[in-house]
Structure 1
Amino acid sequence: MIGGGTALTITLIAALIRAIIGPTVLDRMIASDVFLTTVVLGLGGDMVIRQHTDSITLMTAIAATAVFGTITVARHVHRTDGPESVGPITQPGEPGPEDAAHATEEAR
């Protein structure tokens, strides 16, 4: 019980630090998702320990806020940066586009 509370507290602090430091909007959004998820987990743990169901409405509202916030930020980033800013996805060990450009420069 104390270990779980300690782990949740450390997670909350780490997520808060990441949300403040950033450096990108996506870093801050992921940190806020982790923060809100940790709050929901804490409320769920409280419900189990105290054997009540009073926090279900609050947990649902927090989860909905996190989901809609994530969707909104993802759509905003997609519109401002565009899908081409993400770049192709490569498997570990596969050469990426920057490796191909470096290889062609060496061949010259």
Structure 2
Amino acid sequence: MILLAVAAALLVSIALALARAALGPSIFDRIQAAHTVGTCAMVLLAVIGFINGRPDFLDLSLVYGLLNVIGTVAILKFFRHGGMGEAEERTR
């Protein structure tokens, strides 16, 4: 019962973060909201796994979380530096 309430709260959090991603004043606010959606989805996947008695969902959740962090860092690097290559290549 408590896990269902947690899942519902996570769904509300995802909806609010999606609204923030759509209405964010800057690109960095939108990226942060997208990262929040990914984090909430990761936790929701783990909760669904425990509700259904499938603890192997926790492994999937951890992999999804790692991909979420790597993707967020890559996007932030792209917007901050204007590309994904080495910084010294552009200065020459």
CA–CA separation in structure 1 for the residues paired with 2:7 and 2:77: 34
Structure 2 unaligned regions, length at least 5 = 83-92
Could you list the runs of 5+ residues in structure 1 that have no partner in the other structure? 81-108
CA distance in 2, matches of 1:42, 1:76: 28
What is the CA distance between 1:48 and its match in structure 2?
Answer: 2.1
TM-score by length of 1: 0.62
Greater relative CO, 1 or 2 (CA 8 Å, sep 6+): 2
C-alpha deviation, 1:41, in angstroms: 0.9
Of Structure 1 and Structure 2, the greater helix share is in 2
Structure 1 runs (4+) deviating above 6 angstroms are none
Q: What is the match of residue 63 of structure 1?
A: 65
Aligned to 1:13: 15
- Give the secondary structure class of the aligned counterpart of 1:20: helix
**TM-score, normalised on structure 2?**
0.71
Q: Hey, what does 2:39 align to over in structure 1?
A: 37
Pair member with larger Rg: 1
Q: How many residues align?
A: 80
Percent identical across equivalent pairs?
24
1:29-50 alpha-carbon deviations (Å, 9 max, x no partner): 1111111111111111122222
State the alpha-carbon separation in 1 of the partners of residues 25 and 77 from structure 2.
19
